[in-house]
Amino acid sequence: MIAAAVTFGFAAIGLAVLLNLYRLVLGPGMPDRILALDTMVINAIALIMLYGIAQETTVYFEAALLFAMVGFVSTVAFCKFILRGDIIE
């Protein structure tokens, strides 16, 4: 049952990443693209966790944690650049 659920999860999250890619390519403005990238990072974390369950190993948790941190910092940095024209003033 878990294997079927993980397969379903891979399919759904993969489709979600494709939808994010659509918005990333077509998004009319910069904030849309930043939002699409941020959502992509969150979906990538979900994919990493699903892969960890499928492989029955815990080594990928650190990667997911790093993804969470780096994704948040990069989103804030992009927005800061749009807002102020500079990241560290």
Site residues (vs other proteins, CB under 8 A): 1-2, 4-6, 8-9, 11-13, 15-17, 19-20, 22-23, 28-32, 34-36, 38-39, 42-43, 45-46, 49-50, 52-53, 56, 58, 61-62, 64-65, 68-69, 71-72, 75-76, 78-80, 82-85
* CB of residue 65 to other proteins, shortest distance in Å: 5
The CA-based dihedral angle spanning residues 7, 8, 14, 16, taken in that order and rounded to the nearest 10 degrees:
-160
Task: Compare residues 56 and 88 and give the one whose CB is closer to other proteins.
Answer: 56
Say if CB 15 and CB 46 are below 8 A apart.
no
Report the Cα–Cα distance between both ends of the chain, in Å, rounded.
53
* CB of residue 59 to other proteins, shortest distance in Å: 11
Say if CB 36 and CB 25 are below 8 A apart.
no
